[in-house]
Structure 1
Amino acid sequence: MNPKQKAKGNVALEFALILPVLLLFVGGIIDLGRAYWFKQTLTWASREGARYGSVLSSEDWSCDFVKERVIQAVQKGCGTSISKDDVAVVPEAGPKAASELTVTVSMPFRFLILPYSIPNLSGQTTMRFESS
């Protein structure tokens, strides 16, 4: 065996040893990016719901309208669907003068590459009612 063939074999072996580590590293970066994107989408969706609920008049106000707005925003932002149980709206009764509306949305997140999971990602927004 000449030295050139031996060097080619060493390079192939080194590549085979480092490739799984490199792929795991790149996959982890992609998964963490996805988690950050979902977190930002949930925060944006809670803002959409809080803004929508804070400007509705007391005659038109409904907790279900706010939840539907949040669900639509999550679907638009990251393409996943959530249920009304994943959205919390406080107060549920509707607008009162000088009171605040808090919208919290949460969903489970599963990593694609990494074996562990974050229990829940969530976003929360509080806004003052603009109409009563």
Structure 2
Amino acid sequence: MTKNFFILLIIFLYITNGKVDSRIEVHVVDALPNNDIPLSLHCASKDDDLGYHYPKVGDDFHFHFYPKLFGHTLFFCHFWWGKKDAAFDVYTYELSPNCSWDDRSISYCYWKVQEDGFYMGPSLNEVKKMHDWN
């Protein structure tokens, strides 16, 4: 019986690629003071390169994914703003408590890019500072 369970588990993990049914949305909002110095960002994971993006003030760059079953999903971004830059993880299982869930099994993680650093939270109105610019 135990052997059959593990065989079924392996088949399930193979079919689902180790992913769960819940969707994660990561939002990166440009809240810098103006567009005189443009923001640039590049986000990726081990499996997905989301490319370079150049949002304007107020823009919301966002992406979604289905996390892997055992919590190993990781997305990181590198940001440039004039002579400043910063690179860090924007989603890991450890960061997920800073996100919110809705009734459709979607988790929303918001990052707000400001002049003094990077803020994260479950909405743009509920963020806390996580990183400074380098």
Report the TM-score when normalising by structure 2. Answer: 0.31
Greater helix fraction, Structure 1 or Structure 2? 1
Greater strand fraction, Structure 1 or Structure 2? 2
Q: Which has the larger radius of gyration?
A: 1
Between 1 and 2, higher relative CO (CA 8 Å, sep ≥ 6) is seen in: 1
